[in-house]
Amino acid sequence: MQYIGINHDGGAWAAALLGSRVVPLAPVPDFWADAAGWQEKALSLSADALVDDSGAGLDRADVTEIPLVPASARVICVGLNYRAHAAEGSYKDQDLPPYPTLFGRWTASLSVSNVPAPVPRGEDGLDWEGEVAAYIGRRVEAADEATAADSVFGYSTFNDLTARRAQKLTSQWTLGKNGDFSGPMGPVVSRDEVGDLRDGLQVRTRVNGSEVQNGNTRDMIFSVPAIIALISQTFTLHPGDVIATGTPEGVGYARTPQWLLQAGDTVEVEIDRLGILTTPIGTPDLRARA
């Protein structure tokens, strides 16, 4: 089953995605308060429910999609989590790190497919980072890896679009990782349909149709359960929190010459079982709507 966030009935709602039809389920906070229960209800939906007199079914083209993330969520991103990407970056001539590099995104930076992401003023462009995002479905505190694995509700495509100049001003990455509309996310696909990332999903990124990344989640240094377990030792994870699991090799800043996204470009992230996430790149003027 796939789920999206939508603007509905005056607020942010979670909805089940069935083909080109959308069924509103509950306000986003209520959905995450009982994600397993709402999943059961969503699975009970039939094709008839989409077109009956209740009006439950909406045409996807007629709704405004939003990230399926509560405003209170923590979005924790993992840097340099693919062996090949670590080798093209900070760990080119060093041993792999003993712990994952973690940094935060604010929910205000998140977006969805087909929403333009502006290049911030002062940047030479934006860099692409196609990733798998994992969504927490139940409270996780001081968990072992088995418990952490069971806490995942589902996964989506994600693009950790990065303002490299801002990122590299200091050793802290927060500024460069929170540009307006720089965190597009696709529909959430339930864990049972995706399986274990350690079994391998292909992660591909294209710029204007040309492939720039082609990696596999088997190349991850730290697994999703290991990341969640580590985080949960320090602070409690709650339903709706997101773990962005890192990107494969092939980012723009590591190329010679450097290649960054410019206004007018289109970047796509395609991941097995999760679909395609499309983001047009815009000018700084687009920030006026942030």
Q: Which token pair is 260?
A: 């960054």
pLDDT, averaged per 10 consecutive residues of the chain (290 residues), comes to 97 95 96 97 70 67 97 96 79 78 97 98 97 98 98 98 97 96 98 96 98 97 97 98 97 96 98 98 80
The pLDDT score that the predictor gives to residue 53 is 44
pTM for the whole thing? 0.94
The DSSP symbol for 233 reads H
The predicted pLDDT at position 188 comes to 98
Q: 209-242 burial by CB neighbour count: b if 16+ within 10 A, else e?
A: eeebbebbbebbbbbbbbbbbbbbeeeebbbbbb
Q: In the chain, where are the structural domains located?
A: 2-65, 69-289
User: What's the confidence (pLDDT) of residue 87?
Assistant: 76
Residue in 115, 109, 114, 118 with CA at minimum distance from that of residue 262: 118
Cis link prior to 70 (omega < 30° from 0)? no
Give, for 206, the enclosing helix (H) or strand (E): strand 202-207
Superfamily of domain 69-289: Fumarylacetoacetase-like, C-terminal domain (3.90.850.10)
pLDDT of residue 90: 66
In the chain the first and final C-alpha atoms are separated, in Å, by: 31
Residue 99's Cβ-count burial label (10 Å; 0-12, 13-18, 19+) is exposed
